Amino acid sequence: MEHKNKISDLQSHTGVEVMRCYQCGKCTAGCVLASDMNYPPSYLMRLLQTGTRQNMDKVLASNSIWLCLNCENCLGRCPMEIDIPKMMDYLRTQAISQNKLHPDSKPIIAFHRSFLDSVRNTGRLYEIGLVLSYKFRTFNFLQDLAIAPSMYLKGKLHLLPEMIKDRRSMKRIFAQTIENAKTLNK
């Protein structure tokens, strides 16, 4: 029974039918990061098919869902047209809300958060700001120090952020979406 519920649960949230997967492995064969993942895509689909809590936890705690680049090679080639990237999106939000995070996710989430902060505050991406706030999140100060100066010299970095006029709408959008969601999860 648990099995059934889990599956239908996944489907209602993503519209993805994991039971369609017959484990041909074509997704894994074409995945550029499969070899770096705890579980390559097809293996991950199989874990989901079992529908057991242990395996679901395995998936959420794995680095696979964070290493997935959503390049959609898998979807493009899947004979059963299973939208694995969409499933990955869902699994990531689940992993965050259940706070089951693989260490590999830390820098990635940190980057995304820094990115979004910048967008929230300025309406656009403020690259120096992004890199700085990312570094404070990850305490990885040395990274990219090498290229930053030459980026600046080549005019690829602005010291001051570009701001959009209607920043209030940005605040509103964030407040009603991601921040709202956070409070819900708490």
Residues from 60 through 89 that contact another protein (CB under 8 A): 67, 69-73, 75-81, 89
Work out which of 30, 50, 94, 171 binds another protein, going by CB under 8 A: 30
Residue 95: strand, helix, or coil:
helix
- Residue 17 as a binder of another protein (CB under 8 A): the answer is no
Tokens of 94: 């689940």
- Residue 15 as a binder of another protein (CB under 8 A): the answer is no
Task: Name which of residues 136 to 175 contact another protein (CB under 8 A).
Answer: 143-144, 146-147, 150-151, 154-158, 162, 164-166, 169-170, 172-174
Torsion of CA 151, 156, 160, 161, to 10 degrees: -120
End-to-end CA distance of the chain: 29
Least Cβ distance, residue 162 to another protein (angstroms): 6
CB nearer to another protein: give 2 or 172.
172
- Asked if residue 33 lies in contact with residue 69, where contact means CB atoms within 8 angstroms, the answer is yes
Tokens of 127: 């690259």
